[in-house]
């Protein structure tokens, strides 16, 4: 796939790889990562009740709105999740979350590889949509890091202080 058909962002998150994977594998958590430009419209569940896909609406500059149907295709616990996003009948991208142990946490890479693109989406990417999507991906990864940073602080606050008062 040509580099111009990939959109990606990467960030180091101060959390164990398996905890990050578990968080991302639960699509109920993805609404926490969406910013004001992305709305999670619906989650679709399998027979066991687990969310395996859904619909998201992206609101871009100039009032542009695009709705994507998403579905999880495969998971390689705790390293990778693969899904597909389809916009209309002509645009399809494969979305991958890759998690790798790193210094001080887990390196998380979010990427979309465009497999098929309609003329409207091609035009939108050329007119700034690619940079806009890269900023959205980067923002999602920063919110993921913030979520785990706040979680760690909350856990730390609940732990009893060593050398504290005796009863």
One-character DSSP codes across 24-39: HHSGGGHHHH--TTEE
Residue 43 lies in a domain: yes
Residue 167 lies in a domain: no
Residue 115 lies in a domain: yes
Q: How many domains does the chain have?
A: 1
Residue 102 lies in a domain: yes
Reported pTM = 0.85
Distances in Å between the alpha carbon of 91 and those of 4, 121, 145?
Answer: 15, 7, 30
Residue 108 and residue 10 in contact, taking contact as beta carbons nearer than 8 Å? yes
Q: In this structure, what CATH number is given to the domain that contains residue 17?
A: 3.30.530.20
Residue 1 and residue 103 in contact, taking contact as beta carbons nearer than 8 Å? no
Residue 164 lies in a domain: no
Residue 163 lies in a domain: no
- CA 63 to chain CA centroid, Å, is 23
For residue 106, give its domain range. Answer: 3-156
Helix or strand holding residue 72 (H, E) = strand 65-76
- Residue range 84-102, pLDDT digits in tens: 999 999 999 999 999 999 8
What band does 161 get if pLDDT is binned at 50, 70 and 90? low
Residue 166 lies in a domain: no
């Amino acid at each position: 796939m040509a580099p111009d058909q990939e959109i990606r962002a990467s960030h180091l998150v101060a959390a164990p790889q398996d905890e990050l994977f578990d968080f991302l594998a639960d699509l109920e958590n993805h609404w926490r990562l969406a910013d004001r430009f992305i709305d999670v419209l619906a989650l679709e569940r399998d027979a066991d009740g687990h969310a395996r896909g859904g619909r998201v609406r992206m609101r871009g500059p100039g009032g542009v709105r695009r709705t994507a149907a998403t579905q999880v295709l495969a998971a390689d616990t705790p390293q990778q999740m693969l899904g597909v996003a389809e916009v209309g009948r002509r645009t399809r991208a494969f979305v991958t979350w890759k998690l790798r142990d790193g210094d001080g946490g887990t390196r998380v890479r979010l990427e979309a590889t465009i497999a098929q693109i309609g003329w409207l989406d091609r035009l939108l990417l050329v007119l700034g949509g690619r940079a806009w999507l890269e900023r959205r991906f980067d923002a999602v990864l920063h919110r993921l890091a913030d979520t785990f940073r706040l979680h760690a602080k909350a856990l730390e606050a609940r732990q009893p202080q060593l050398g504290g008062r005796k009863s």
